[in-house]
Amino acid sequence: MHIFVAHAAAVMLALAQGGELRRIQVVNNPASIPAWYGLPLGGVYVVWALVVLVLFLPCRRFAALKNRRRDWWLQYL
């Protein structure tokens, strides 16, 4: 789940910085990263903390579910 939340945060960050929605393929072309995109290290820590806060409650609820129930499929998640 954290990958989807972090991706959504990156999309919102790009829009907040005045950019447009487009695919950035860093693997094939590192020069494709726009000059306006990115954050300093302090900003990365702020976004990281926000992702942790957003995911804390769902993770806690899922842990409680796993403790309450012993379904076979919960062992694999």
Q: What is the pLDDT, as a whole number, of residue 51?
A: 93
The pLDDT tens digits for 9-48 are 888 888 888 777 777 666 777 777 777 778 899 999 999 9
Q: Residue 77's pLDDT band (boundaries 50, 70, 90)?
A: low
The pLDDT tens digits for 46-74 are 999 999 999 999 999 998 998 898 888 88
List the one residue out of 42, 61, 44 whose CA is nearest residue 1. 61
Q: Does the predicted model carry a pTM greater than 0.85?
A: no
Tokens for 32? Answer: 């494709």
Domain ranges within the chain, ordered by starting residue: 2-76
Q: What is the pLDDT, as a whole number, of residue 57?
A: 94
